[in-house]
């Protein structure tokens, strides 16, 4: 059951790529929908498709476009076509680059940080100073082609006694079976899921989305 002393968790479903699964997420009242524009990802959508899905979600959830080390040309074209409410940066963008992207696009920016050990939190303060929101994800394996969406958890005890900024979002290997525990142990108020609501890489499952949302909100 939900902790009555805490507000309900805010939920982002990332990597949506079809109208049916987008509609399923929206019908459940998720807070953010994520559109991945990164060709190596099984969740990649081209700019035209991302634009169509974004229009469909407008006014029903905040629309997030995920980019990996984008150059200025890509940023400009994606923001113009998709009109995202938030840009998620999931590459090796430096704090200086994050600040530049925020200035160039005029959009709020969320920076993802990959964690595997306490040392990986060292850059946090620099990113907090320039990003509107921080997403904490599991650090990708060295041989991974993807910077995120690998279905791996990190050790949540890394976050114990850390002073994390308001709005920090938790990601990495979350699913309906572990999201309630993750929220309880980290005391964060926002979660992001992608592979944990899929039947196969890149294939979202409406039933798994519904189960995740129910678990995150502490519903029976």
Please report the domains of the chain, with CATH numbers, ordered by start residue: 11-216 (3.20.20.70)
- Catalytic residue chosen out of the listed positions 3, 14, 71, 220: 14
The average confidence (pLDDT) of the chain is: 93
| Of 67, 168, 154, the residue nearest 119 (C-alpha) | 154
What is the Cα–Cα distance from 109 to 34, expressed in whole angstroms?
Answer: 13
| CB 194 within 8 Å of CB 203 | no
Report which of residues 8 and 125 the model is more confident about: 125
What is the Cα–Cα distance from 156 to 159, expressed in whole angstroms?
Answer: 6
**Per-residue pLDDT tens for 1-42?**
445 567 889 999 999 999 999 999 999 999 999 999 999 999
| Of 26, 81, 58, 55, the residue nearest 67 (C-alpha) | 81
> Can 3 be counted among the known catalytic residues?
no
- Catalytic residue chosen out of the listed positions 3, 46, 120, 137: 137
Strands (DSSP E) found in 116-157: 133-138
pLDDT at 1: 45
pLDDT at 116 over 60: yes
pLDDT at 3: 58
pLDDT at 123 over 60: yes
pLDDT at 140: 77
Average confidence (pLDDT) over 177-190: 96
Whole-structure pTM value: 0.93
What is the Cα–Cα distance from 191 to 168, expressed in whole angstroms?
Answer: 9
| CB 88 within 8 Å of CB 64 | yes
What lies within 8 Å, CB to CB, of 106 at 6+ separation is none
> Can 153 be counted among the known catalytic residues?
no
What is the Cα–Cα distance from 43 to 36, expressed in whole angstroms?
Answer: 6
């Amino acid at each position: 059951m939900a902790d009555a002393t805490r507000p309900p968790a805010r939920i982002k479903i990332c990597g949506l790529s079809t109208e049916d699964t987008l509609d399923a997420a929206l019908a459940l009242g998720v807070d953010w929908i994520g559109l991945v524009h990164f060709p190596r990802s099984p969740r990649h959508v081209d700019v035209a498709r991302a634009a169509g899905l974004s229009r469909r979600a407008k006014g029903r959830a905040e629309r997030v476009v995920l980019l990996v080390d984008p150059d200025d040309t890509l940023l400009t074209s994606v923001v113009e076509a998709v009109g995202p409410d938030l840009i998620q940066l999931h590459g090796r963008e430096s704090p200086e680059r994050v600040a530049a992207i925020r200035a160039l696009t005029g959009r709020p920016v969320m920076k993802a940080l990959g964690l595997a050990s306490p040392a990986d939190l060292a850059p946090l303060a620099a990113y907090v100073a320039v990003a509107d929101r921080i997403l904490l994800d599991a650090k990708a394996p060295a041989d991974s082609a993807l910077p995120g969406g690998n279905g791996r958890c990190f050790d949540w005890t890394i976050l114990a006694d850390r002073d994390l900024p308001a709005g920090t979002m938790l990601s990495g290997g979350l699913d309906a079976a572990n999201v309630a525990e993750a929220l309880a142990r980290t005391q964060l108020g926002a979660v992001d899921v992608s592979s944990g609501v899929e039947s196969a890489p890149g294939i979202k499952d409406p039933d798994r989305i519904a189960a995740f949302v129910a678990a995150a909100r502490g519903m029976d």
